[in-house]
Chains A and B, each alone.
Chain A
Amino acid sequence: MIKWWKILSALLILYTLVLGMLGPVPHLDILNETIRNLFYHVPIWFAMLFQMGYSVVYAIKQLSKNDLQSDIISNQAAQTGLFFALPGLLTGCMWAKFTWGTWWTFQDPKLNGVAIAVLIYLAYFILRSSIDDEQKRARIAAVYNIFAFVMMFVFIMILPRLTDSLHPGNGGNPAFGKYDLDSNMRLVFYPAVIGWVLLSLWILDVKKRLAILTHKENEQ
């Protein structure tokens, strides 16, 4: 049986894919039509951050209750988050090529933050694979997950506000935030965020069920 929010997610993403391309957008210097990337790039990052937050919540749950189910969910959410990093990076790189003239730059704290986030989660998976005992793995992975998430949070949320970022809205670059009073973009942006987050939940739902089933089968 398919749940209502799964249909909603598909509809919302379809809606934003179409309207994101065709709808009216403000014309800004430098950004021009690439401002439409806001409908794809930013919601995908939101979905990734949502999944990583989800993973941390279940890591905390794992530590407080000590059940393996939370560990499985935490792991699957981290995998889903990392999966969303890929389209996020691709859309970001494409956009950067057209506005900044380069695919990647080390000058921008947000880009570095993303690279670090990917590294952190890769390290998380390596840590998981190096421990055989299930209970032990669940506990240690949860500890690393929580610690790494806090450091990543510092990196992504706090540091870019201190230094100049090339990103729109930072360091005098034109941004969507100041011009959205016409609310045309909001009509697409907010549904896009909800749609992508729901899609990530959908993916997580499938992965989670599969992982729990295989875990049960292995136990027997």
Chain B
Amino acid sequence: MNSQLLSQLIKKEFLLEFRQKSTLAGILVYIVATVFISALSFKKIIHPTVWNALFWTIFMFISVNVSSKSFMQEIKGKGLYNYLYYHPRQFILSKIMYNMILMAVLSLLTFFFYSWFVGSMVQDMGMFLLALIFSSSAFSGILSLMSAIASKANNNISLMAILSFPVLMPLLLVSVKLSKHAIDGLAWSVSYKYLLILIMLNFVVVALATLLFNYLWKE
């Protein structure tokens, strides 16, 4: 029953998203426009470090933008309804999982457009994709909680950025390092420990978010 409610909630998130196609389309335009601007202004990126840094910067801004709205849509009256029917753990887990799926798709899309417009430099594609998937899932874990916090504090969008950037930084640095290794095509024996840290960070983030959301939930 527990997992049934959870899957219902995730389904609800998807339904809401697809019913309101304009936001999804907005995100896509955002991705394409940002990548296009960077392609135009950089002309041609030769250095892998610059390529990597630019990619992660773009991705960070996209993910903050996407997930900032995940709790802002929850209006006051609906909160009471959710409070009656669901356990807070289910609620935050549904948000995190939905965000994980969305972010994984968006990160792949960003990578696709980025390597199309700017040019790809990745030598070890498998490792890069692993880094992308795991960091986007950890991103969504952190950002879901931050969005919940920001939504409790007057819903302002700049607060979301202020709160989440410093907290994202450790994660981002690990991802940058790992994807740099993938770009340079280093052996897996060199970079596996960063992958492990990334996976461990995923667990830590999700566990903390589910624990702490209990206290945010009560009004």
Contacts and interface: CB of A to CB of B under 8 A. Distances in A.
Contacts of B166: 116, 119-120, 123, 148
Contacts of B174: 159
Contact of A146 (B142, B171, B177, B208): B208
Contact of B194 (A119, A143, A148, A162): A162
Contacts, number: 80
Contact of B162 (A116, A126, A154): A126
A140 B201 CA distance: 22
Q: Is the interface of A mostly helix, strand, loop or mixed?
A: helix
A139 B216 contact: yes
Interface string B152-196: 111010010011011101110110010000000000000001100
Interface residues on B, range: 20 to 34
Interface in A126-149: 126-127, 130-131, 136, 139-140, 142-144, 146-148
A123 B163 contact: yes
Interface of B: 142, 145, 149, 152-154, 156, 159, 162-163, 165-167, 169-171, 173-174, 177, 193-194, 197, 201, 204, 208-209, 212, 215-216, 218-219
Given A154-B170, A162-B197, 5 more contacts: A63-B215, A112-B173, A139-B215, A147-B167, A147-B209
Interface of A: 63, 109, 112, 116, 119-120, 123, 126-127, 130-131, 136, 139-140, 142-144, 146-148, 150-152, 154-155, 158-159, 162-163
